[in-house]
Amino acid sequence: MRLIIYTGKGGTGKTVTSSSTAIKLSDRNHKTLLISSDPAHTLGDAFMLPNEISENYDIQEVIPNLFLLQVDPVREINKKYNNLLSYMASLFIQKGLDESISYEIAMMPGMTQLFSLLKIEEIMQDNSFDAVVLDMPASGEALRYLYLPKLVGNVGRKLMGLFGLFSGFSKIFQTFSAVSVPNNISQFEQDFFDRLKSLANIITDYKTTSIRLVANPDSFSIENAKRALMLASLYGINVDLAIINKIWPATSDNASNASDAYYTKWSKFQRIKVEEARINFYPIPVREIPLHQAELAGIELLRLNANLIFGEENPAQIFYQGNPLSIVQDAKNKLTMVVKVPFTEQKDFDIKRVSGGEVIIKVKSPTGAVANVLPLPTIAYDMKIIKVLLNSNNLSISFERTI
């Protein structure tokens, strides 16, 4: 079973690319599910579905072997965790807040993104499809929540053991409220972290999951794609393809009027950006897709776009598999951990050793600092970090046992 995740800035053609990929997979007899959690119902627009279908939040078949699912995270939370949400809201209602406002506050930051991802975990565990294609929301924050399960999977149990994510929150407010804490909150926490850990394992399994970058030939979207590649590498998630959409056709240098000169200039600029992308993303393959003469909507136009992207190739294949993390034992008392982190500088990193068997790598980025917790092999438990060096996009952390 394959999970293919498309990410990119808004307007780059991410939904069209996701839809095209799903159609190509279904045409090759892969039972395929295309998922979006975008509240704008972009899948309905891409497939030109009537409103009563595009606003349906159940899995529905649109052509043979192709199924669509528009995820509503609030609906998912209400359906599976309504007791917890109602309890959280009741604490605020007790203090005199309006009921609707209380429910909004009870939805803690990030819950909608997390529960969208947990829906994917549920589908992957069910194993009813050959391939799942995820159209990620056009947001830098959405990317962070894609990597969050990896982080939470490492530290969640410790947090729960110390004070509990939800039970700690509940006990604080119970002091000021007559509403009792539901008995199932501890069980909810355990199930919640178990599912996040399962999701993290799915996302970091390169044989199952690939992230694919979607960009336009301009500086902003390519920089966004570079940041996504950096984050994916840091968290050990495989990026196997980059797609550059909406490329102007080549034009003649002999422009006969101002309009021709304008488009010639843009065409040359885009060509430079495409070549920059090829250099930046190497050795990840880059596919170039021209700007179409009409809006890509409807199954036949999406199928045409799929053929431009993949030709006769199977979209389910893994187009590239890197090695984002490796551990080398240099000698009996020495060990080096190498993490691939492109588009960074040495000064961007803050490395800390925690407990005995983990190291935290924190790296600055244009959208804020991100961190990953990496487990160490048993042999490194009593070793100290002696050197950190960034060279050719590879961060080397050297450990040595001191006597």
Residue 334 CB contacts under 8 Å (≥ 6 apart), including other chains:
383, 398, 399, 400, 401
Distance CA(51)–CA(41), nearest Å, equals 9
User: Which of 188, 205, 164, 158 lies closest to 324 in space, CA to CA?
Assistant: 205
pLDDT of amino acid 358: 81
Distance CA(269)–CA(66), nearest Å, equals 38
Distance CA(260)–CA(250), nearest Å, equals 11
CB 129 within 8 A of CB 31: yes
3-state secondary structure of 56: coil
Distance CA(112)–CA(118), nearest Å, equals 10
295 and 365 in a common domain: no
Is the bond leading into 39 cis (omega within 30 degrees of zero)? Answer: no
Model confidence band, residue 83 (pLDDT cutoffs 50, 70, 90): low
Quick one: angle between helices 219-234 and 140-162, nearest 10?
20
Domain-terminating residue out of 259, 284, 310? 310
299 and 221 in a common domain: yes
Model confidence band, residue 88 (pLDDT cutoffs 50, 70, 90): low
Distance CA(234)–CA(80), nearest Å, equals 32
Phi, psi of 5 (to 5 degrees): -115, 125
CB 341 within 8 A of CB 233: yes
119 and 145 in a common domain: yes
Q: Looking at the DSSP assignment, which residues form a beta bridge with residue 339?
A: 325, 395
Q: Looking at the DSSP assignment, which residues form a beta bridge with residue 6?
A: 135, 212
pLDDT tens digits, residue range 155-211? Answer: 545 544 433 444 544 454 444 444 555 555 566 666 777 777 788 889 889 999 999
Domain encompassing residue 127 = 2-73+109-310
pLDDT of amino acid 175: 46
Q: How many CB atoms lie within 10 A of CB 177?
A: 16
The CATH number of residue 385's host domain is 2.60.40.790
pLDDT of amino acid 137: 72
334 and 207 in a common domain: no
382 and 302 in a common domain: no
226 and 175 in a common domain: yes
Q: Domain count of the chain?
A: 2
| Domain assignment present for 294 | yes
pLDDT of amino acid 215: 94
pLDDT of amino acid 105: 60
21 and 146 in a common domain: yes
Helices (H), 28-72: 42-46, 51-54
304 and 254 in a common domain: yes
Tell me the whole-structure pTM to 2 decimals: 0.80
| Domain assignment present for 91 | no
285 and 338 in a common domain: no
Domain-terminating residue out of 276, 310, 344? 310
Domain-terminating residue out of 310, 337, 352? 310
208's tokens: 């199952």
Distance CA(327)–CA(394), nearest Å, equals 12
pLDDT tens digits, residue range 127-146? Answer: 999 999 999 876 555 556 66
